[in-house]
Chain A
């Protein structure tokens, strides 16, 4: 279904397929099934009732603007949700993140954020088994300008857990 236009199921869609170069193969890899699917039907795409911590993640450069909120039970993240307007990479990353953190302790979540950064920074390293499905997002490493999108939900979650209201992912701003 949704993969049809990527893989080319018939003659017509062959011409619709992106040009076959190494770079475009990674474009296919970036917008692979799991990212498209999580973008189209994001999990936990609402703020959970009675959340105790939340933060806004705003990337002025890209226009990504999300809020992540957490229901805690002691040290455990019982439920995590997000809302806002964001690109496919940020949305899919937020969706996958909210699933991954469910039921994990704060220290495990912070460790997960560190591990996630590490695999994005080191494309040559093998997948981190601790991260499970999050490894699927490693394809963004081939798109340096999009790594910030995959990280925004995590930075926002970290800010929420640290009691900060807002995290601004913009560190530098090119001229128009």
Chain B
């Protein structure tokens, strides 16, 4: 049997399982020490680390063919434009978008949602129209709609969740009215880990002819996303959550929707002809990409997508779910520890509180054992309010985390408790 058949993808073991030891070597930062201890990076939901494939793709752009895109006839500009547009096609493939014309590069999920709010909805929304979101949204899928509601007189309605942190889909269905103009839903909750039944919500919305926007920031590092299968209308993601660079993400929307939307920001790149008697806007997707784009970012994002595809997202997900199960089981046995977010289907995120120890103190002490975790409200203050906690601590796994690292975390947790008891 040839080697290619035994080990068809880099980083995957013959069984299709993720070869974590090998994968870890792709991430230079994982070899560093923090406070004299090996780094245990469990803050992946905040931002993931970058593999060499991403770092080198961006480095290569800057070293070898740095130029502006879609402007020059010179060789470097041609190469940069090709790489930039290739990145767009890669990202289209990554979420199975029907056309690369539907991929709009943005600064990230937040900007993508703001673009939709201001371009797709602000011109047409009337007082009394409704935007329906869920209780577990990240601030980035709340505040743009609050701003829009202030601007238009529309009303923001919020579908409830249960004590496990699961969306109450029937309640959401009951909140749909003839004034509902959009349903906004997070695919995977950053604060709770909950994987929402997005396909079901889209099916429901389709019956009422209501478009659905999906905040996919926490989904694309862990799940194979197929926007056609989900049957949503807008999908937003951030590269840095999925091992790509910061400052880049995208909006996917159906071409018919994008064609009907007016430009959001004006400037270069988004026009085809400018005169003082009138300006003609560029075609999709450039109509929504005013100014020189984040070229290196787009190239790095595509490299991250290709990296994930090379490992195979099912293998990544299986590994992360195993870690999630292992850590959850262990943490349930820790006295005074309460896991916030116990949905049936979860991404690799565990938020928790520990009796007698404020998350702030826990974060500081645990850091000194080399463990990076997040404490605070996780940009989801309505979720904190629902669970009646001011803050939680949160561990979140990436594809390079190991059981041994979970054990280091659990050990540090006990030490923190001893220190403060």
Contact = CB atoms under 8 A, between A and B. Distances in A.
Contact of B36 (A5, A23, A39): A23
A31 interface: yes
Interface string A35-72: 01001000000000000000000001111110000000
Contact of B360 (A2, A23, A63): A63
Given A63-B391, A89-B360, A176 B35 contact: no
A31 B416 CA distance: 11
B347 interface: no
B117 to A, nearest CB: 18
Given A5-B419, A23-B368, A146-B364, A173 B36 contact: no
Nearest to B389: A63
A88 B390 CA distance: 15
A37 B379 CA distance: 32
A62 B35 contact: no
B50 interface: no
B53 interface: no
A153 to B, nearest CB: 14
B190 interface: yes
B202 to A, nearest CB: 25
Nearest to A88: B361
Interface in A76-106: 85-90
A19 B420 contact: no
B377 A88 contact: no
A1 to B, nearest CB: 11
Interface in A117-163: 143, 145-146, 149
Given A63-B360, A65-B390, A89-B361, A19 B368 contact: yes
Contact of B415 (A18, A23, A173, A175): A18
Contacts of A36: 420
A26 B359 CA distance: 19
Contact of B364 (A5, A6, A90, A143): A143
Contacts of B389: 63
Interface residues of B, number: 34
B358 A176 contact: no
A110 interface: no
A143 B415 CA distance: 19
B420 A31 contact: yes
Interface string B21-60: 0000000000000011100000001110000000000000
A21 B35 contact: yes
Nearest to B35: A23
B364 to A, nearest CB: 6
B390 A85 contact: yes
A27 interface: yes
Given A16-B418, A18-B368, A21-B35, A61 B376 contact: yes
B346 to A, nearest CB: 17
A16 B377 contact: no
A108 interface: no
Contacts of A168: none
Given A5-B421, A176-B138, A176-B190, A62 B364 contact: no
Contact of B35 (A19, A146, A173): A19
A63 B420 contact: no
A30 interface: yes
A20 B36 CA distance: 8
A60 B376 CA distance: 8
A31 B359 CA distance: 15
B181 interface: no
25 contacts: A6-B419, A18-B365, A18-B415, A19-B37, A19-B369, A23-B368, A30-B364, A31-B420, A36-B420, A39-B420, A60-B377, A60-B381, A61-B376, A63-B358, A63-B359, A65-B390, A87-B361, A88-B358, A88-B360, A89-B360, A90-B360, A145-B364, A146-B364, A175-B47, A176-B190
The 4 closest A-B pairs by CB, nearest first: A63-B391, A63-B390, A87-B360, A87-B358
Interface of B: 35-37, 45-47, 138, 190-191, 358-361, 364-365, 368-369, 374-381, 384, 389-391, 415, 418-421
